[in-house]
A and B are shown apart, each in its own frame.
Chain A
Amino acid sequence: MSKMTLKTEGDRHVVVTRKFAASPEALYRAHTEPKLIQKWMLGPEGWTMPVCVSEAKPGGKIRFEWTREKGGGFYLTGEYVELKPHSKIVHVERMFLPDPTPDNHVETRFDADRSGTLMTMRMTLPDEKARAAMLATGMESGMEASYVRLEGVIQTEASKQASAP
């Protein structure tokens, strides 16, 4: 969906924007209230978030745990740094896969615009290498094509294996 943009900025930043047909207040709540977070911050189909801690105050703890029926799971921990209802959230997060990824400093802004809200999420990684690792996730548009091809290869190989006697 072209609604979402993802761009790099300088050596250490990644900026994601997305427009929503809702008020900044609704977005702020959906980003801070555990019961609401558990409904959407789930990634691909099949994942659920049985554990969701979100203490929306400066210094408050964040802990999200994801799991799926097929098996596998991972979690994220973090701390809130600054909260400005309903326009700004600053927090730090790291994923455990199971080793921790470098701290990702995230500033999320909700700006009302004519038709709803523009969300801008600005991530700051400790260094270029850490950001490169994040971008190796294929989120960077320039790499998208390469990864689509990689996926094509994987699927082709997988179907070859499946059809082998």
Chain B
Amino acid sequence: MATLDVTFAALADPTRRAILARLALGEATVMELVQPFELTQPAISQHLKVLENAGLITRRVEGTKRPCRLAQEGVAEIDQWLAMLRKALARSYERLDNVLAEIETKKGRKKK
């Protein structure tokens, strides 16, 4: 899963994660991303290139602009992985509550 490696490397940068969060709200051009992030256009373009290579965003041509949007497949791939781990912990611990209750009940019975 070489792609997943590239994807994680792309996600390891806070600015790129913030760009993804912004794109989650809708399509944006480079100029629209430059303003909120207070970075130069080349810096933003470089981040976008990394995200594009990781399959996290796609860009289309609209006249002289190249608006970016989240890539459905790339996001779905990490989502599958992240949903697994994040929810896994919380859900597992809810189950563990029940297992522990059983253990304590059995122990209580033995004592009597």
Q: A157 contacts which chain B residues (CB < 8 A)? A: 72
Query: Is B32 among interface residues, defined by CB-CB distance under 8 A?
Result: no
Flag whether B61 is at the interface (Cβ < 8 A).
Answer: no
Docked CA distance A23–B111 (Å): 15
Q: Is B20 an interface residue (CB 8 A)?
A: yes
Residues of chain A at interface, number, CB under 8 A:
45
Known A-B contacts A22-B103, A97-B1; A153 and B93 likewise in contact (beta carbons under 8 Å)? no
Residues facing B in A1-59 (CB within 8 A) are: 1, 3-4, 6, 16, 18, 20-23, 26-27, 29-30, 36, 39-45
Interface residues of A in 53-71 (CB under 8 A from B): none
Q: Interface on chain B toward A: helix, strand, loop, or mixed SS?
A: helix
Q: Is A98 an interface residue (CB 8 A)?
A: yes
Give per-residue flags for A125-149: 1 if the beta carbon is below 8 A from chain B beta carbons, else 0. Answer: 0001100111011110001011101
- List A contacts of B89 (CB < 8 A): 4, 6, 16, 43, 139
Q: Does B34 contact A (CB under 8 A)?
A: no
> What 5 pairs across the A-B complex have the smallest Cβ distances?
A43-B88, A22-B100, A146-B21, A132-B12, A40-B95
With A16-B89, A30-B103, A151-B79 known, 7 other A-B pairs at CB within 8 A are A20-B96, A22-B104, A27-B100, A41-B92, A43-B91, A133-B12, A136-B78
Q: Give the B-binding residues of A (Cβ under 8 A).
A: 1, 3-4, 6, 16, 18, 20-23, 26-27, 29-30, 36, 39-45, 97-99, 128-129, 132-134, 136-139, 143, 145-147, 149-154, 157
